Amino acid sequence: MFSIFKHHHGKPGKELLTKITRFFQALVFPDQCLNCRGLLHPAAKDPSEARACFCTFCLARGLPRFEPPFCSRCGHLFDAGDNHVCETCLKNPPRISRVRAALAYKGLVPEIVPLFKYQARLSLARFFEPLMKEAFDRYFKNTGIHLILPVPLHPKKMRQRGFNQSYLLVRRLARSHPGICGTSFLWQMDVTSLKRVRYTIPQTGLDIAVRKENLKNAFHVIDPARVKGANILLVDDVYTTGATCGEAARVLLAAGAGRVDVLVLARA
């Protein structure tokens, strides 16, 4: 990395300045695949563009969108046919009205979500944000949502991680809807009404019954007056068994919420 300084002792010409500028640009905007550190397509510069984030090799594994056919309640993806209510939801109607996502948890997706969440590769947010906006517009824009509520982290986890990945996915949503912001909000971002009051062990590898037990009473509604009668959109990174969002929905509905929907980055 110091090779750029080697051949220019005493004569810092224009070429050297360009090289130094590029060196610092590369620190801020690395032209490396966010997954494997391989080289990126040189023409791709827009961070919301897939090939500006991932190399051709990684992209070949696919970033499949969340698309029909899926269960119209829990968003479970089907291989073929039309949207319908899945057997699980028919037998046991979930508390959450609708689960929708930006991506399917397949291909490259199961690798890049942990990079974002656990390794703080936060530049991925620039790639995820437009996908979340697109999914929000498609599924929830005109459904009478009052509050957008990123699933909160326990304060201890927040201190360890330093950021709430769910909030990062939608924090610019208001800015991307200027027509709404200019006048009165149709919906508001809410990061205070729901609190995580129990520090839970990671869910990965636990079966559904243990997951549910693990999350029991993990959330508390701080501001029931705000939640009462409100249609709430919970935002999370991944929806697998739905234990986390299900428990959050349970306390929100118990506090008087009108309806709880879920938007996630990826549906497993």
Interacting residue ranges for Zn ion, rule: CB under 5 A: 33, 35-36, 38, 55, 58, 71, 73-74, 76, 86, 89
Smallest distance, Zn ion to C-beta of residue 216, A = 22
Smallest distance, Zn ion to C-beta of residue 91, A = 10
Handedness of CA 7, 11, 17, 18 (dihedral sign): negative
Query: What is the distance between the terminal CA atoms of the chain, rounded to a whole angstrom?
Result: 40
Q: Do 97 and 249 touch, CB atoms closer than 8 A?
A: no
Q: Which is nearer to Zn ion, 139 or 167 (CB)?
A: 139
Smallest distance, Zn ion to C-beta of residue 11, A = 38
Closest CA to 252 of 264, 241, 260, 243: 260
Q: Do 92 and 16 touch, CB atoms closer than 8 A?
A: no
Smallest distance, Zn ion to C-beta of residue 101, A = 13
Q: Which is nearer to Zn ion, 75 or 150 (CB)?
A: 75
Residue 228, SS3? coil
* Rg of the chain in Å (alpha carbons): 21
Q: Which is nearer to Zn ion, 86 or 222 (CB)?
A: 86
Smallest distance, Zn ion to C-beta of residue 35, A = 4
Calpha distance 50→93 (Å, rounded): 37
Q: Which is nearer to Zn ion, 74 or 168 (CB)?
A: 74
Q: Which is nearer to Zn ion, 61 or 157 (CB)?
A: 61
Smallest distance, Zn ion to C-beta of residue 17, A = 31
Which CA distances in Å does 218 have to 1, 167, 214, 226? 47, 18, 8, 20
Closest CA to 208 of 157, 244, 237: 244
Please state whether beta strands 259-267 and 188-189 pair in parallel, antiparallel, or not at all (unpaired): unpaired
Q: Which is nearer to Zn ion, 34 or 173 (CB)?
A: 34
Smallest distance, Zn ion to C-beta of residue 89, A = 3
Q: Which is nearer to Zn ion, 104 or 255 (CB)?
A: 104
Residue 199 exposed, middle or buried by CB count within 10 Å (0-12, 13-18, 19+): exposed
Residue 149, SS3? strand
